Amino acid sequence: MYKHLVGVCFILFIQATNVVATEINEQGKEFIKIEIDYHNETTGLIWAYRCLSCTPERFLFDSQTIVQENNEKFGVSRLKAINEKAATVIWVPNTSKVLRVLPMELD
């Protein structure tokens, strides 16, 4: 019984660790303007500006990148609609791979 209980606790620990790792394994930042540069229909670059005179940060998007507006999810073709607008960019830490882009309204 003791070995079975230890096994169950170990499995629960691994599952909880995976959930925490998934939630932490992304980094995001708000940008005052993003510029979209398509390589083809599903891949390209996002040039993201923290301020209008700042040097842009470069990110890569692909077909797995999601554009999220008002809790709705769209593909990368939606990036055309938010070109040169403010957005939050979320990427994989220590890489330039974009996971999600969330357009922002500036007043």
What digits encode the pLDDT tens for the residues 56-107? 999 999 999 999 998 899 999 999 999 999 999 999 999 999 999 999 975 4
**C-beta separation of 47 from 53 below 8 A:** no
**C-beta separation of 43 from 63 below 8 A:** yes
Q: Is residue 49, in this structure, part of any structural domain at all?
A: yes
Domain with 87 in it: what CATH number?
2.40.50
Q: Is residue 6, in this structure, part of any structural domain at all?
A: no
Q: Residue 1: what pLDDT?
A: 54
Q: What is the largest CA-CA distance in the chain?
A: 66
pTM of the prediction? 0.75
Number of domains in the chain: 1
State which residues form the domain around 48.
Answer: 27-103
Q: Is residue 84, in this structure, part of any structural domain at all?
A: yes
Q: Residue 30: what pLDDT?
A: 97
Q: Is residue 88, in this structure, part of any structural domain at all?
A: yes
Q: How does pLDDT run across 4-52, given as a tens digit for each residue?
A: 444 444 444 444 444 444 556 999 999 999 999 999 999 999 999 999 9
More confident residue, 55 or 21: 55
Q: Is residue 78, in this structure, part of any structural domain at all?
A: yes
